[in-house]
């Protein structure tokens, strides 16, 4: 039995994590969940958004499944997600975006992996109020972090039989910071002659992505552009309800959906659990439970091909109905 840290999050987090645990249990996943808390619940209980117990649990177990956690906007505690990535040195955020069988979208040839630097850039949160009418936010880009993420992206490309890495920046404007990131990507590219390398400015990249996404393979981006562009790529294959991700470093991996806590649909049985479920499927593969992972994938795709879908991807099933159908398909196997 593998011990995995579980963070049920808030907003739709508890609904979708319970749905996912149900499916994993039915499929026979051999997991001992180590439940921990973070975010508003933790502030109330321990007066900190990211308790030491939670961080230590992930350090110990090395693998976590995390549902979304709300970050107060413009005030309140710092993003737990950002803190967690920093604390555990989860320097790479990998967001694969590929068409899912039976989810019809504008394009049917999308197979893009967004590799996003996860520890610095404007996410460093170094902000200052200069005066009542002026605020300053500092963008940090370092050589070490840029080389580390570039190497991760090229290494990923090699290990996963990808053809090309495209570095995406705004180096024409942020000449020093994005310029440094680009320089590191170029240096790394030279060490991987078997992988094609190209560069694109982020604004052009967004336009090209919505016109001709089939041209892209692995995208390598600094933190903020990576965050924004990966929501765009999620939209290309059916939206946030199906977009999976992993935050990974040298020692630990935290699997989570790309989407947030969706407070607008909290408690309405409307949330699509697919993004967290697909993240959990990747987690099962990561801990070596491949058979269970493929069984779940098959049941999920069968459910979608039976046209049982939640509203965000054009169906009318409630979250609970969708999960019941996946479990029925698991039972039939």
CB 240 within 8 A of CB 255: no
Q: Smallest Cα–Cα separation from 169: which of 139, 191, 211, 132?
A: 139
Residue owning tokens 């336009």: 207
Alpha-carbon distance 274 to 322, whole Å? 9
In angstroms, give the least distance from the CB of 152 to ligand NAI: 19
Shorter beta-carbon distance to ligand NAI: residue 69 or 167: 69
Shorter beta-carbon distance to ligand NAI: residue 68 or 226: 68
Count other C-beta atoms under 10 Å from residue 46's C-beta: 15
User: Which H or E run includes 221?
Assistant: strand 218-221
Q: Smallest Cα–Cα separation from 245: which of 69, 112, 114?
A: 114
CB 29 within 8 A of CB 329: no
Binding site for ligand NAI (CB under 6 A): 12, 68-71, 81, 240-241, 256, 259-265, 271-272, 275, 312
Residue nearest to ligand NAI (CB): 260
In angstroms, give the least distance from the CB of 234 to ligand NAI: 9
Q: Smallest Cα–Cα separation from 237: which of 94, 95, 97, 93?
A: 97
Shorter beta-carbon distance to ligand NAI: residue 39 or 222: 39
DSSP, collapsed to helix, strand or coil, labels residue 156 as helix
Shorter beta-carbon distance to ligand NAI: residue 162 or 270: 270
In angstroms, give the least distance from the CB of 241 to ligand NAI: 4
In angstroms, give the least distance from the CB of 109 to ligand NAI: 24
Shorter beta-carbon distance to ligand NAI: residue 54 or 188: 54
Alpha-carbon distance 51 to 218, whole Å? 35
Shorter beta-carbon distance to ligand NAI: residue 170 or 259: 259
In angstroms, give the least distance from the CB of 258 to ligand NAI: 7
In angstroms, give the least distance from the CB of 187 to ligand NAI: 31
């Amino acid at each position: 039995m593998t011990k995995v840290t579980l963070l049920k999050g808030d907003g739709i987090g508890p609904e979708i994590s319970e749905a996912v645990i149900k499916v994993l249990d039915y499929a026979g996943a051999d997991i001992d969940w180590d439940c921990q808390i973070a975010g508003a619940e933790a502030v109330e209980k321990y007066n900190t958004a990211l308790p030491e117990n939670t961080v230590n649990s992930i350090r110990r177990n090395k693998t976590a499944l995390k549902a979304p956690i709300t970050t107060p906007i413009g005030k309140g505690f710092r993003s737990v997600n950002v803190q967690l990535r920093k604390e555990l040195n989860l320097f790479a955020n990998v967001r694969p975006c590929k068409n899912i069988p039976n989810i019809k979208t504008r394009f049917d040839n999308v197979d893009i992996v967004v590799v996003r630097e996860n520890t610095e850039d404007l996410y460093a949160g170094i902000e200052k109020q200069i005066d009542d009418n002026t605020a300053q936010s500092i963008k940090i880009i370092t050589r070490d972090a840029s080389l580390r993420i570039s190497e991760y992206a090229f290494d990923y490309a090699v290990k996963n039989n990808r053809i090309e890495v495209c570095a995406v920046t705004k180096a024409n404007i942020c000449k020093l910071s994005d310029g440094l990131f680009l320089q590191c990507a170029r240096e790394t590219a030279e060490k991987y002659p078997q992988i094609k390398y190209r560069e694109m400015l982020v604004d052009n990249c967004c336009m090209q992505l919505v016109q001709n996404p089939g041209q892209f393979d692995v995208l390598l981006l600094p933190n903020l552009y990576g965050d924004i562009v990966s929501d765009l790529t999620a939209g290309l294959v059916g939206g946030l309800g199906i977009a999976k991700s992993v935050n990974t470093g040298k020692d630990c991996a935290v699997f989570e959906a790309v989407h947030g806590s969706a407070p607008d649909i909290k408690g309405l049985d409307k949330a699509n659990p697919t993004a967290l479920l697909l993240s959990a499927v990747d987690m099962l593969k990561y801990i070596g439970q491949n058979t269970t992972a493929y069984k779940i994938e098959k049941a999920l795709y069968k459910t979608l091909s039976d046209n049982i879908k939640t509203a965000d991807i054009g169906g009318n099933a409630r979250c609970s109905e969708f999960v019941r159908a996946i479990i029925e398909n698991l039972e039939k196997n």
